[in-house]
């Protein structure tokens, strides 16, 4: 699972030119698999935040690695959005040790969101932090806010199928004869 924070700069929520921020380890090209696993678990790599256009993530995740994506649009005030961008700008210059099970992309994004929304997204008591935990926590915060009559945290969740899944959807709609032509 890869976590990216997409900053929707335009009205089009799926704009490929929006800025995407991610956190990950810097791994040398052609790293030995055993070293990769050991260094990832034991903090042998440095990691940092980076930014790029969303189309680069879409290309890699959807079209090359065939991963489905989910876009959570958070209900943030304009002030919170500005503070998020300012804080990300500060983080882009920092390097940290990367630990695959704890100080990973999900944990760093959870800490970042905790600062901005002023609610505990990251729970320091877990020795392992997986991406699914972040999504469960965001859902829980959203539910608690709505339960107390406040605006929810999550404005919307959009499913973005991978290119492969999209191809499967489209070919499933073909007639038997069309599928035979497609396969040939």
The encoded tokens of residue 31 equal 């790293």
* Distance, CA of 122 to CA of 26 (rounded, Å): 23
Nearest one of 100, 101, 107, 99 to 137, comparing CA atoms: 107
- Sheet harboring 45-53: ordered strands across? 4-7, 19-25, 45-53, 95-98
User: What was the pLDDT predicted at 10?
Assistant: 66
* Distance, CA of 52 to CA of 17 (rounded, Å): 9
**Partners of 47 in the β-ladder:** 25, 96
User: What was the pLDDT predicted at 14?
Assistant: 59
**Three-class SS state of 164:** helix
Instruction: Give, to the nearest 10 degrees, the angle between helix 105-117 and helix 78-91.
Output: 140
Tens digit of each residue's pLDDT, the chain (184 residues) = 557 788 887 665 557 888 889 999 999 999 999 999 999 999 999 999 999 988 888 888 888 888 888 888 999 999 999 999 999 999 999 999 999 999 999 999 999 999 999 898 887 777 788 888 899 999 999 999 999 999 999 999 988 888 899 888 899 999 999 988 988 8
User: What was the pLDDT predicted at 131?
Assistant: 85
Answer yes or no: are the C-beta atoms of 16 and 58 closer than 8 Å. Answer: yes
User: What was the pLDDT predicted at 82?
Assistant: 93
Name the pTM for this structure: 0.81
User: What was the pLDDT predicted at 151?
Assistant: 95
User: What was the pLDDT predicted at 96?
Assistant: 95
Answer yes or no: are the C-beta atoms of 13 and 80 closer than 8 Å. Answer: no
* Distance, CA of 104 to CA of 100 (rounded, Å): 5
């Amino acid at each position: 699972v890869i976590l990216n924070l997409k900053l929707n700069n335009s009205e089009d929520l799926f704009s490929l030119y929006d800025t995407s921020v991610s956190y990950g380890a810097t791994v040398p090209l052609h790293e030995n698999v055993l070293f990769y696993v050991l260094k990832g678990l034991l903090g042998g790599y440095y990691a940092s935040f980076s930014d790029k256009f969303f189309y680069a993530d879409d290309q890699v995740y959807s079209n090359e690695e065939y991963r489905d994506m989910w876009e959570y649009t958070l209900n943030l005030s304009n002030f919170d959005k500005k503070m998020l961008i300012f804080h990300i700008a500060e983080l882009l210059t920092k390097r940290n040790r990367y630990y695959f099970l704890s100080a990973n992309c999900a944990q760093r994004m959870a800490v970042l969101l905790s600062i901005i929304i002023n609610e505990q997204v990251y729970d320091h008591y877990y020795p392992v932090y997986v991406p699914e935990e972040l999504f469960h926590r965001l859902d829980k915060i959203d539910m608690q806010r709505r339960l107390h009559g406040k605006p929810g945290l999550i404005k919307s969740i959009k499913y973005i199928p991978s290119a492969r899944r999209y191809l499967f959807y489209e070919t499933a709609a073909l007639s038997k004869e069309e599928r035979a032509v497609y396969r040939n």
